A and B are shown apart, each in its own frame.
Chain A
Amino acid sequence: MIEITDLTVADTSGRAVLDRVSLHVSPGERVGIVGESGSGKTTLATALLGAIRPGLRAVGGTVTFSGTDVLALDRRRLRALRRESIAYLGQDPATALTPTLRVGGQVAELATDPSPESVARHLAGVGLPGDRAFQRRFPHQLSGGQQQRLALARVLAGDPELLILDEPTTGLDAITQDLVLRQIEELAAARGITLLFITHDLVAAARLSDRLVVLRHGRVVEEGPLAATLSAPRHPYTRELVAAVPDVAEAFEKYGHSVFETSRAPLLEVRALGAGHGRGRKRVTTAREVSFTVERGECVALLGESGSGKTTIARCVSGHHRPDSGEVVVDGEVLPDVRSRTLAQRRKVQLVPQDSAGSLNPRRTVGAAISRVLKVLQGLTGAAAEAETARLLALVGLPAEMAGRLPRQLSGGQRQRVTIARALAAKPDLLVCDEITSSLDVRVQAGVLDLVASLSESEGLGVVLITHDLGVIARMADRVLALRGGEVCEQGTVHEVLGEPRHEWTAALVAAVPSLRAELDARVA
C-alpha cells in the first residue's frame, strides 16, 4: 500500500532531516515508527500526505500510495487523496477541532455522506451520542475525552484506508491514553484500516503495532516484527531505548522499598495549606488543607491530573504563590513568599519550573543564567563562577560550550537540563521539580531522574516531585501524595499507594498504567 523508497528530505542548509528512508506497508498492517524528538518522524508522516513543512524540501526518493506518486500529485488530486484515502491524527487531537464549528459540522464536512443520520453513525462508531442535541454542541461543551473521540470520528468520517497517528497520546494521563489507544485499536480492526503509528513512546507502540521501525537522526536504524525487535534489539540505539523505558512494575521492584521514618525535624513541613486563584466570586480554591513533610534525602511525589492543585502547592512551597491559609516551614522556620525571603532562605528552596523555555531569559546565555545564581546566592564571580558553571553543566550532561548559547539554540530537553543546573547552582536543600521530565525523551528522562536521585542520596537533597507519570514516581519517590480536586485523596509510601491503592482514582490509575513488559508478554501469549 505504502512504498517509500530512499526518501531524502533536507532543510535549506542541505542538512538531511530524512536520509534515504525506505518503508513498505501492506494493507491491514499496523506499523509503529519509533524515534525521539528530532528523528524526523513527523516529517515522514506528513510526507505521506504530500505535505512537506516550509523550509524543508524532498530532494530524493519517492513516496507512493497504492501506486500513485504522492509527491508528484497536483493540488486537486492531493486533496482527494487526503480526503478519501489517508487520515491524519496529530498530536493533541482536541486542538484539531475548530472551536466555532458544531459537533455535527466537524464530522459532516469530511464525511462522504454528510446527512445527520450518517454523522450520527460516525459519532456512534467512536462511542459518542449521535442525537441532534449532541450534534448541535460546540467542542468546548465536551469533556476532554469526548473531544479526543470527536477528533477521531472526524478523520475517520471519510472512510480512509490508512490512518496515520502522530503522537496522539502524548501528554495524556494513563487512564485517558488507555481509552484512546483501545478505541483506535478496535476501530482499525473492525474496519480493516491500515495503521501507521508514530510515537516516541515504546510502550504505546508495543500496544498498537505489529512491526516496528526505529528512526534516528532521519535514518532507519532497525526494522522488524514487534516482539523480536523489543525483546532482542539488534542495534545499540534500540537497546538503549528499550532499557530507558520507565517501567512501573520494574522500577517498583527495584526502588519501591525505601522507607523513610518521619522525624521530629523534617526539612520541609507543609501545614494545612490552602490556596486558590482569581478574585472575588471567581475565586477558585485549588488546594485545601494539604499537609505533608519531606525529610533530608527524601523524595515526595505529588501525583494528580491537571487541575488537581499540584503545581499550586509546589509554587506555595517555593514562595511564588501566596497561600490563603496554612504554613510552609523549612528547617523549623516559617517561610514567607519569595520576595520577603532572605537570601539564605531563598537558597534553601529552589524551583525547577515545567515551562523551561518561559523561565529562561531569551536574551541571556545559559552561562549568564547560571552564573547569576552563583553570584547572588553563592558569592562566586570570575574564574570560580566559570568553573562552577562548567561543573554544573557537566553534572546535567551538557558540554561546557553550551554556556555560550542562547535558550532558543537549545532543544527542549537541553533547556530543561539548564533549568535544573540553574536550580542546583544555589546548592539548595530542597528541590521542587514541576513535571520536569514530561517534555523529555525517554533516554534523557532517565538521565535527569538518575541525576536528581543521586544528588538526593549523596547530598541529602530533599525533593518535591510533581508528576502525572507513575513510572517516574516508581523510579524516584519515597512517598506519594495523590491529589484530587485540591485535596489529598491518598498518601503513603510508594509501596502502599502503588502496591495497594485504596482510593478508587489511584486504583484506576495504577490499573491503566502501561508496561512494556506486560504488553510484550500479552503479545507473545
Chain B
Amino acid sequence: MREKHRYILVRSSESIKALLGSGYTADTGKEFSKLINRYMLFELGDVHYSDSNPQVAAILDDKTFILKVLLKGFKDSVVGLAFINKVNNIPISFITLKSSGTIKSIKEYYKSRFAELPAQN
C-alpha cells in the first residue's frame, strides 16, 4: 500500500542562505534538506523521525519552503519544527503556515497569499 504524505508550507525567520552559511552551494535544496533533517532528528528522536521522514520538497523563496512528511508523523513534524530554536547557532523560528495533501495546492496557496512571481523548483 502506498504511504500517504502531507505537505507543509513553512516560513523561516532567517534566510536559507544565512542558515547554510558556507554550505550554501549550487545545490541549495539538497544541503538545506540535510540541515533540516539533522535538526528534526534531534527534536523528534529516532522513533518519531522514522514515522515522519521529513524531506524538503521545494524551496519557494529565500525564507519559505515546503516540507514533505509522512501522514503518520505529521503532527510530530509540526511540533518538531516549532521546537527548533537554533540552527548553526543562529536563533530561528519555523512557522507552519498551511498543510495539504498535494504540493500543487500548497504552491497555489503560496502564490495567492505571499508571492507575485511563480514559485521556483
**Is B a genuine binding partner of A?**
no
List residues of chain B with CB under 8 Å of any chain A CB: none
